[in-house]
Amino acid sequence: MKKLPVLLMAFLCVIFSASATTTNSSYEPENTFIGSWTIDVVGGGVSWLKVHEKQGVLDAELLWIGGSVLPVSDVYLVDENTLIVTRTSEVELKTTSGKERTHTRTWTMRITKRNDAIAGTMTGPTWEAVGENISFFTGTRMPAIGAAPDLSTLKYGKPIKLFNGKNLDGWRTIDPNSPNGFKVVNGTMQNDPVQPENGEHIYYGNLRTDQEFEDFNLKLEVNVPKRNNSGVYLKGIYEIQVVDSYGLELDSHYMGALYSRVTPSVHAEKPAGEWQSLDITLVDRHVTVILNGKKIIDNAPAEGPTGGAISSDVFAPGPIYLQGDHGNVAYRNIVLTPIIKK
């Protein structure tokens, strides 16, 4: 387990000691956890939690670092400053005889709140099912997302060409220690995360711009080979999915979707191996996506970070980043136009 920063440790001690009171079963505390929370996991990773009531029953959705936004198994108040959230999933594990069997695993979040800040732990079995893993986190309440902006009134700055077609100047891997699978081939930025025939899996890095941006319009072209997958992250927070999903049902995990959050309204994909255009506008935490000339997401709210986000601050400037750890993909003609705020 990684050593906690001094300030985080002090915060945890204060709020946990403040919450260590005897619970009266007849006591009905006021639920001040209702709303959305962004979460920073100690050691790296961004998460998100939304707590709400549905027909008088407390419920929640959770994004834990990667993957999708999922409903939780259970959520309940211990007292007005302590919330318990459990998440259960089924995994395939090999028995000692080598056979696979389905195993149910449960992770438990214990969250303590102080004003609009939270801290806590996520506890559960390790992936190897040997021992226990404990992650520490802090978080803050997210302000309401607000009404959709009027896109007709937007004012734009000077377009910025993010890729010069010659080299990767202006780009770098998010983790400098990760290998980079991107290279420039015939004026395109191609990712080829080659894996060894024998040996350990290589985890390739994601590529980000040196520059950081606030709200903007982003245009690019992308070519996805069959059964391959990538993603374009806006401000390093919101993933627009890039994947070969031609001919499949509409889904929030397919081409052009705001990953696991907003499903495209219509099909607009082209077959694998063809160049496709993406025209994306991010303004006031709302996203519009035009895929191959068809509007598939229309000024939809981005409720929170998507899996793989590198920042929990939805109001701060951030980079464009391209997933490099999934599969083969090529990009070209990447142009960002900033939106000028009054």
Residue 291 inside a domain? The answer is yes
Residue 146 inside a domain? The answer is no
Claim to verify: residue 155 and residue 77 sit in the same structural domain:
no
Contacts with 340 (C-beta within 8 Å, 6 or more apart), sequence order: 155, 156, 157
CATH number for the domain spanning 76: value is 2.40.128
Say what the pLDDT of residue 325 is.
Answer: 84
Residue finishing a domain among 119, 141, 163: 141
Claim to verify: residue 173 and residue 273 sit in the same structural domain:
yes
Claim to verify: residue 75 and residue 107 sit in the same structural domain:
yes
For tokens 């083969």, the residue is 328
Q: Which of 234, 257, 256, 264 is nearest to 338 (CA)?
A: 234
Say what the pLDDT of residue 97 is.
Answer: 64
What is the tens place of the pLDDT at every residue in 262-271? 999 999 999 9
Claim to verify: residue 64 and residue 177 sit in the same structural domain:
no
Residue finishing a domain among 141, 165, 193: 141
The structure tokens listed for 286 are 């709302």
Claim to verify: residue 191 and residue 308 sit in the same structural domain:
yes
DSSP 277-338: EEEEEEETTEEEEEETTEEEEEEEE--SPPTT-S-S-TTS-B--EE--SS--EEEEEEEEEE
Please count the structural domains in the chain: 2
The structure tokens listed for 84 are 């318990």
Say what the pLDDT of residue 196 is.
Answer: 86
Claim to verify: residue 126 and residue 165 sit in the same structural domain:
no
Claim to verify: residue 184 and residue 240 sit in the same structural domain:
yes
Contact 46, 138 (CB under 8 A): no
Claim to verify: residue 86 and residue 186 sit in the same structural domain:
no
Q: Which domain holds residue 192?
A: 151-340
Say what the pLDDT of residue 96 is.
Answer: 63
Say what the pLDDT of residue 36 is.
Answer: 97
Say what the pLDDT of residue 94 is.
Answer: 62
Claim to verify: residue 215 and residue 88 sit in the same structural domain:
no
Residue 1 inside a domain? The answer is no
Quick count: other Cβ atoms within 10 Å of Cβ 191?
A: 23
Low-confidence residues of the chain: pLDDT under 70? 1-29, 92-101, 128-129
Residue finishing a domain among 113, 141, 169: 141
CATH number for the domain spanning 239: value is 2.60.120.560
Claim to verify: residue 177 and residue 121 sit in the same structural domain:
no
Claim to verify: residue 125 and residue 160 sit in the same structural domain:
no
Residue 333 inside a domain? The answer is yes
